[in-house]
């Protein structure tokens, strides 16, 4: 039988730097043909669009497939497996498959999907790479004190002290074969060392914890871990799924169960469409204010700037807003501004839209 194609799962909380890490990897792939599967949260395919824009020879637009159903774990049968089958049926097979999960996805159900008979003989999970926003976690945004939460939970099984955010973070850490402490450029040495050692103590034995800036890691470090993660799921404890037994070989009932036992209603996203903006700096400031006022987790998209042929990419993680011009608008593209806003359920959509339009 032909060798299985290795697949690396890149997971991590909203805005941690998954797309940035993948872009760096593609630019340094040294001829390795990589196919990408991208799982977006929200209707606007920002990450896919950013990656397609880099025009790498080792990963052309055809090699990028997008799943736009938000929660990869709920759409395994309808979306993920058919996409993988399509990819595996190609004549020109990739050397490696990289799957970027949305920042709100649980990695365990995705890894479990590799045991499905449709794909289990053809691919294997090379490793799960969890990207952590070092700055956000150090500042206590998202899930900062996982150890304390965990200690509390161990004291009393009946109490649920966790927020959905820390559960997600914990699941992403528990599933990791490698943890990348990203954005270390924004941390001092003590902060990054503290975070690295905390994460080492919170992760499974043997998991590598590596510091990075802008996801810059050698491709040989990221790919080729050879773990076969789908074979040791039991070690990858899930907070979200403690209410039923897992049976990796029989997916039918199990999968239907998964559709309902965790709740992505906890999060929502919507798209704000605007015309051209006048001034990128002023607009970034406006976005930062809206994020603070409305407790938005992630905001990203593209903007058209008056008098500029280039498209402006806008990225905000918490209160930090980055902008850069990425490419000219195409001849058939509408010059408009589209932003996807992601937050916990209950976002005041009309107020946010109004504040961004002002
Ligand atoms: N300073 C700094 N910024 C970074 C680093 N890595 C990523 N960023 C920025 O953080 C923002 C989010 O990065 P992405 O790579 O889009 O993050 P992501 O995890 O793919 O985001 P989602 O897919 O929305 O969850 C962008 O503005 C990046 O430029 C880093 O190491 N240092």
Ligand 1 atom nearest to CA at 213: 31
Q: What is the model's pTM?
A: 0.84
CA of 106 to the centre of ligand 1 (A): 19
CA of 133 to the centre of ligand 1 (A): 8
- Is residue 63 in contact with ligand 1, taking CB distance under 6 Å? no
Distance CA 112, CA 133 (A): 25
Ligand 1 atom nearest to CA at 182: 31
Q: What is the pLDDT of residue 143?
A: 58
For strand 178-182 and strand 64-67, is the pairing parallel, antiparallel, or unpaired? unpaired
CA of 20 to the centre of ligand 1 (A): 6
- Is residue 301 in contact with ligand 1, taking CB distance under 6 Å? no
Task: State in Å, rounded, how far the first CA of the chain is from the last one.
Answer: 61
Which of 168, 215, 317, 321 has most ligand 1 atoms within 8 Å of CB, for mutation?
317
- Is residue 42 in contact with ligand 1, taking CB distance under 6 Å? no
Distance CA 144, CA 349 (A): 27
User: What backbone phi and psi angles, to 5 degrees, belong to 99?
Assistant: -115, 120
Q: What is the pLDDT of residue 343?
A: 86
Which of 12, 19, 186 has most ligand 1 atoms within 8 Å of CB, for mutation?
19
Q: What is the pLDDT of residue 49?
A: 79
The answer to whether residues 313 and 302 touch, using CB atoms and an 8 Å cutoff, is: yes
What is the pLDDT tens value at each position of the chain, 358 positions in all? Answer: 578 999 999 999 889 999 999 999 988 888 889 999 998 776 677 787 777 766 666 677 778 888 866 666 667 888 899 999 999 999 889 999 999 998 888 888 899 999 999 899 999 999 999 999 999 898 877 655 555 545 555 555 544 444 567 778 888 999 999 999 999 999 999 999 999 999 998 889 889 999 999 999 999 999 999 999 999 888 887 765 434 333 443 444 343 334 335 555 678 889 999 999 999 999 999 999 999 999 888 899 999 999 999 999 999 988 789 999 988 998 888 999 999 998 888 899 999 999 999 8
Distance CA 213, CA 228 (A): 27
The ipTM estimated for the assembled molecules is 0.99
Distance CA 284, CA 206 (A): 41
Output the six-digit token pair for 99. 């799957």
Distance CA 162, CA 160 (A): 6
CA of 17 to the centre of ligand 1 (A): 3
Distance CA 88, CA 68 (A): 20
- Is residue 12 in contact with ligand 1, taking CB distance under 6 Å? yes
- Is residue 36 in contact with ligand 1, taking CB distance under 6 Å? no
Q: What is the pLDDT of residue 246?
A: 38
In 89-231, the DSSP E strands lie at: 96-100, 123-133, 178-182, 208-211
Q: What is the pLDDT of residue 265?
A: 62
Q: What is the pLDDT of residue 304?
A: 96
Distance CA 62, CA 312 (A): 24
Short-list 113, 144, 116, 132, CA closest to 11: 132
The answer to whether residues 169 and 197 touch, using CB atoms and an 8 Å cutoff, is: no
- The DSSP output letter for 29 is -
- Is residue 134 in contact with ligand 1, taking CB distance under 6 Å? no
Q: What is the pLDDT of residue 250?
A: 40
CA dihedral (294, 48, 105, 78) in degrees, to 10, reads 130
- Is residue 47 in contact with ligand 1, taking CB distance under 6 Å? yes
CA of 236 to the centre of ligand 1 (A): 26
Q: What angle do CA 44, 48, 53 make, to 5 degrees?
A: 115
* Atom 2 of ligand 1, nearest CA residue: 183
3-state SS assignment for residue 4: coil
Q: What is the pLDDT of residue 322?
A: 93
Short-list 322, 314, 319, 357, CA closest to 339: 314
Q: What is the pLDDT of residue 25?
A: 92
- Is residue 133 in contact with ligand 1, taking CB distance under 6 Å? no
- Dihedral-angle region of residue 295 (phi above 0 means left; psi in -120 to 50 means alpha; beta otherwise): left
- Is residue 216 in contact with ligand 1, taking CB distance under 6 Å? no
- Is residue 324 in contact with ligand 1, taking CB distance under 6 Å? no
User: What backbone phi and psi angles, to 5 degrees, belong to 355?
Assistant: -65, -35
Q: What is the pLDDT of residue 43?
A: 65
User: What backbone phi and psi angles, to 5 degrees, belong to 271?
Assistant: -105, 135
- Is residue 101 in contact with ligand 1, taking CB distance under 6 Å? no
């Amino acid at each position: 039988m032909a060798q299985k194609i290795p697949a690396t799962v890149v997971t991590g909380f909203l805005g941690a730097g998954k797309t940035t890490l993948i872009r760096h990897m593609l630019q340094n792939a040294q001829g390795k043909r990589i196919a990408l599967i991208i799982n977006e949260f929200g209707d606007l395919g920002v990450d896919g669009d950013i990656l397609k824009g880099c025009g790498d020879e080792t990963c052309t637009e055809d090699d990028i497939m997008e799943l736009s159903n938000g929660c990869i774990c709920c759409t395994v049968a309808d979306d993920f497996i058919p996409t993988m089958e399509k990819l595996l049926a190609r004549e020109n097979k990739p050397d490696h498959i990289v799957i970027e999960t949305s920042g709100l996805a649980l990695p365990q159900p995705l890894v479990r999907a590799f045991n499905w008979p449709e794909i289990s003989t053809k691919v294997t999970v090379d490793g799960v790479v969890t990207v952590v926003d070092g700055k956000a976690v150090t500042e206590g945004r998202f899930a900062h004190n996982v150890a304390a939460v965990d200690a509390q939970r161990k004291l009393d099984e009946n109490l649920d002290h966790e927020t959905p955010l820390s559960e997600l973070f914990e699941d992403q850490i528990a599933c990791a074969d490698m943890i990348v402490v990203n954005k270390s450029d924004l941390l001092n040495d003590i902060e990054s060392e503290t975070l690295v050692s905390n994460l080492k103590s919170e992760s499974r034995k043997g998991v590598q914890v590596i510091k990075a800036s802008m996801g810059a890691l050698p491709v040989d470090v990221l790919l080729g871990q050879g773990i076969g993660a789908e074979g040791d799921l039991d070690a990858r404890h899930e907070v979200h799924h403690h209410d039923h037994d897992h049976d990796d070989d029989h997916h039918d009932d199990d999968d239907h169960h998964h559709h309902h036992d965790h709740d992505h209603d906890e999060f929502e996203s919507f798209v704000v469409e605007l015309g051209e903006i006048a001034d990128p700096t002023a607009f970034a400031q406006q976005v930062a204010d809206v994020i603070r006022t409305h407790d938005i987790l992630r905001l990203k998209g593209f903007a058209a700037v008056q008098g500029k042929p280039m498209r402006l990419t806008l990225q905000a993680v918490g209160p930090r807003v980055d902008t850069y011009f990425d490419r000219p608008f195409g001849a058939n593209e509408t010059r408009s501004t589209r932003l996807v806003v992601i937050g916990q359920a209950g976002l005041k959509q009309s107020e946010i839209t109004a504040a961004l339009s002002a």
